[in-house]
Chains A and B, each alone.
Chain A
Amino acid sequence: MAGKAAPKAAVAIPQLGWSKVRPATIVLVSGTEDFLADRAIRILRDTLRAEDPSLEISDLEADAYGPGELITLASPSLFGEPRMIRVTGVEKCTDAFITETLAYLESPADDTYLVLRHAGGVRGKKLLDAIRGGLGNGIEIVCAELKKDSDKLDFAAAEFAVEGRRITGGALRALASAFSDDLAELAAACQQLLADASEEITEATVEKYYSGRVETNAFRVADIAIAGRYGEALVLLRHALASGADPVPIVAAFASKLRTMAKIAGARGGSGQLAQQFGLAPWQVDRARRDLQGWDDAGLGRCIELLAETDAAVKGGGRDPVFAIERMIGVISARGA
């Protein structure tokens, strides 16, 4: 993970995962996943506080930084307590922050731990490059977003492993698919199971706590409906609506799929050639070809007309947006018949 996020410039400092965080004069917490970053910073704080309970913690906001603030906080105090300075919003920092932090990096104060949270973006690149180049002798904690399902499974497994608890593979998968959208929710669910369930955690336990919850999105609903699996599509639609999907983007997802199918239906040629012609990716063309099995021209036409009608209905033209979508799914999974 650390290697993937590495920039092109040479990196002269250790880049660690969030769980490997350790005290250093400069700790750069980069990446878009706020939840992991918060956790890493919390672990760091707990470690430092365990070392010396007199730790003094101060917070800075880099986007509202005024000249001199960093030096004020980092200058030595009378009793020489260790200090931890947490800086948020480095991705939106002021110019003064960059120049003063660079100056500070030249000679970091003793017993002071500077934590910089940078949530991605190009702002402050000069500062990041300086830190990564080894100035101030810091470390970088990379908190990239967990995109793959396997990453999320690993994350959940680690949650249980830390506490020394056993969980079955099936239970783990059920849990990860129930909270596939938000890592913070997944972590909270793990914590709840750890706190409440007594012995080994099995599928039955997960079922008891989060029964039937499946997080899904509009495109999955569209895929299933277009494949003609009516009942399954309706169930999935309800899951999508229950886990926060809105009717309007659902219709848009259907529209974009059917549009691609209609374009491909009337065209001949290799998928690379068609992809170029219609401004699509080759896999989209192949996918549309597979989806088209069992469809005919008239059916596609009827479905697209119904989509326009449904779009009007979910945008205030009808009384019940959900009913409009259900009706649409009925027609689409019958392939317009």
Chain B
Amino acid sequence: MSVWDELTGQSEAIAIFRAAAADSSLRDAPIGDSAMTHSWLITGPPGSGRSNLAYAFATALLSPPDPEGEEATRRQVAARTHPDLGVLSTEGVIIKMADVQKFVTTSYFSPSVSRYRVMVIEDADRMVERTSNVLLKALEEPPPRTVWILCAPSEADLLPTIRSRVRSVRLRVPDVAEVAELISRRDGVDLATATRAARESQSHIGMAHRLATNEEARRRRQLTLDIALGIHSVSDAVVAASKLLALAGEDAKAITEERDAEEREGALRSLGIEPGGTIPPALRAQLRTLEEDQKRRATRSLRDGIDRIMVDLQSLYRDILLLQLGVPSEPINLAIHSQLVSAAEATTAAATLGTMDAIATARKRIDGNVSPALALEAMLISAAR
């Protein structure tokens, strides 16, 4: 069994990384036209398995004699405990500059057990310009045994100065059939459900897994589409926006609430405070820091929830538009085909395109910190027309 087996639909990218890992384990020679280089960028749409591929490559590099990946190394990488692996990821909206500075410092340590030190940055697009600049020097001239792997949705998300310092590998959107096959094999769901989940998640592997295995997630998605199709006036739109926001909030809460409580309890225990006991003033600052981190995570998770809703809505209007233009292509939301047809007859293609533009605008606005309620309302009002 090899580390590359569990990755779906990315055979071209896997070939590149496998060659690089093999090449690096064959010789110690200077990097010229070899398949290996010192900094990599993996780009691809969300859910295509960027970070999984990054960790597979890391495993292959960290287990030198074997480009297929040793079992022990694989387990250490999976637990993120390998001594020569550095990981920077974030649960907040952005990666903090101080974290990157610390991370860059550790990249100058020599590897202790492997031939390489591998530094992985998930979500490299979540760095603002100032923060990215901290990386430049380390990316351009890393110590001889350090390899950088960055992940981002697209090259355009990174500064040109970063792009010019990395070798870029693009992932493609996996086929619906491939994702469905993976989901039904791994999660033991029947193929019909898996196919529907794969199609509705637009081949996002993580989302497909969630839709296929979680009844509640399926219900929320269905509700989102129903709400959007039921908008006929400005008043409807405003009410719908508040409903959608509540849905996203529920979604986010389901993910974070339990963890927040657990973390707080853990922190109290490690500070030596009995459950229910009062917190001495001197220790309050520490708990406050924890709460601030949790709040950042909640913001991110609410935004992710809203983002999922927008992806779902975009798929809905895409389907309607294709019907209006008479393009013979399989709709994403096959399950509600009759509703799609009646919605397509009620409006024109131009109006549908306008709504899709409004979704894109709302996305941009939320990125610019506009209050999500207001951005959603403005978006849905254009759907009402």
Contact = CB atoms under 8 A, between A and B. Distances in A.
B238 A308 contact: no
Given A263-B239, A267-B235, A309-B378, 12 more contacts: A63-B281, A255-B374, A259-B238, A259-B377, A263-B235, A297-B233, A297-B235, A301-B381, A301-B385, A304-B381, A305-B378, A308-B377
Contacts of A130: none
Contacts of A252: 371
Kindly list the 7 A-B residue pairs having the minimum CB-CB distance in the complex, ordered from nearest.
Answer: A266-B235, A308-B378, A262-B238, A301-B234, A301-B381, A311-B370, A305-B378
**Interface bin, chain B:** 20 to 34
A311 B371 CA distance: 8
A197 to B, nearest CB: 47
A263 B242 CA distance: 10
A266 B239 contact: yes
Interface string A271-307: 0000000000000000000000000011011001101
Given A263-B235, A265-B234, A301-B234, A315 B369 contact: yes
B382 interface: yes
B103 to A, nearest CB: 28
Interface residues of A, number: 24
Interface in B359-373: 362, 365, 368-371, 373
B17 to A, nearest CB: 40
A297 B231 CA distance: 13
A316 interface: yes
A312 interface: yes
- Looking at chain B's contact residues, the main secondary structure is helix
Contact of A308 (B233, B236, B369, B375): B375
B237 interface: yes
B191 interface: no
A317 interface: yes
- Looking at chain A's contact residues, the main secondary structure is helix
A265, A267, A308, A312 pick with most chain B CB within 10 angstroms: A308
Given A255-B374, A259-B373, A315-B369, A305 B238 contact: no
A315 B370 CA distance: 7
Contacts of A315: 368-370
A265 B235 contact: yes
B75 to A, nearest CB: 46
A53 to B, nearest CB: 39
B381 A305 contact: yes
Given A315-B368, A317-B368, A308 B235 contact: no
A262 B375 contact: no
A232 to B, nearest CB: 25
